[in-house]
Amino acid sequence: MKFKSIFSKSYLEYKKYFRNIFLVSLIFVGIPLLLGDIFNLNDPYFYDKLTNGLSLDTIFLYFLLFLVTIILNFIYEAGLINSSIKGKFNFYDIIISGKRNFWKFVWFSIVSLFFIILLFLALIIPGIIFSIYWSLAIFVYFDKRKTVIESLKISFNIVKGNWWKIFGYTILLFLAFSIFGLIIVILVNYVSNNYLNLILNNLVNFIYTIISVPFSILFYKNIYLELRNKIGKK
């Protein structure tokens, strides 16, 4: 399992299904960003205005928008993860799969995040260690139809013996996305108009999300499948 082969395979899949990934991302990522612009959620003075007295109706509207954004994000990621396991990124299948697995994904996120937070509160190092051990649990969860606890255990057993390799791959992927994001931010900073900066910042967020989220899902999915198949052959 080499980084280059995993990265190349993920890139080819991303390139093959880019159109459908882009369309789904436009709906589930682009719309919330657009609504954020409409309601000035990205205004640097928004939180000052919030604390200095907004009407209850306005606060409720902001809260509702925030809730809708979270729901759309869960549907978006659940659809992408399930589609990556199937090896198909059909536009309608991603949406239907995301809606069908919404509560399942929410439950997994709550339980796994609870354990991770506990480990980080105890000590930072155990939190990092188990974050890597459980990095493939979501794919086990969707692939094997196991419970959250069972998926975490299976992910631990799959990663065991490959922890340092996956940790290194995670660092490399993080650095790649960080450099990519930094380049975009530098380009945006050349624009001085504040209103244009607001629009461009959301465009940057959109571009970064439609690349980093689907690609990361494909990357870890390919790691999972390779390790799963190796274990299956033993």
**φ, ψ dihedrals at 127, nearest 5°:** -65, -45
**Predicted confidence band of residue 124 (pLDDT cuts 50, 70, 90):** confident
Identify residue 95 by its one-letter amino acid code.
I
Q: Please tell me the distance from the alpha carbon of residue 80 to that of residue 23, in angstroms, as a whole number.
A: 12
Tell me if residue 160 falls in helix, strand or coil: coil
Answer yes or no: is pLDDT of 194 > 60: no
Ordered DSSP codes for 110-135? HHHHHHHHHHHHH-HHHHHHHHHHTT
Compute CA distances 16 → 10, 28, 90, 93, 170, whole Å: 10, 20, 11, 16, 23
The DSSP code for 30 is I
List for the chain the helix, strand, coil content (%; round to 5): 85, 0, 15
Contact 24, 82 (CB under 8 A): no
pLDDT number for residue 196: 55
Residue that wins the pLDDT comparison between 65 and 104: 104
Q: Please tell me the distance from the alpha carbon of residue 230 to that of residue 215, in angstroms, as a whole number.
A: 23
> What percent of the chain stands above pLDDT 90?
54
pLDDT number for residue 78: 94
Q: What is the pTM of this model?
A: 0.86
Q: Please tell me the distance from the alpha carbon of residue 32 to that of residue 26, in angstroms, as a whole number.
A: 9
Contact 134, 155 (CB under 8 A): yes
Q: Which of 37-41, 135-139, 216-220, 222-226 has the lowest mean pLDDT?
A: 37-41
Length of the chain equals 234
Answer yes or no: is pLDDT of 55 > 70: no
Give, rounded to a whole angstrom, the gap between the first and last alpha carbons of the chain: 16
Residue among 100, 130, 103 nearest 115 (CA): 130
What digits encode the pLDDT tens for the residues 164-189? 999 999 999 999 999 988 887 777 66
pLDDT (mean) for 87-98: 90
Q: Which residues, in sequence order, are CB contacts of 201 under 8 Å at separation 6+?
A: 42, 188
pLDDT number for residue 33: 76
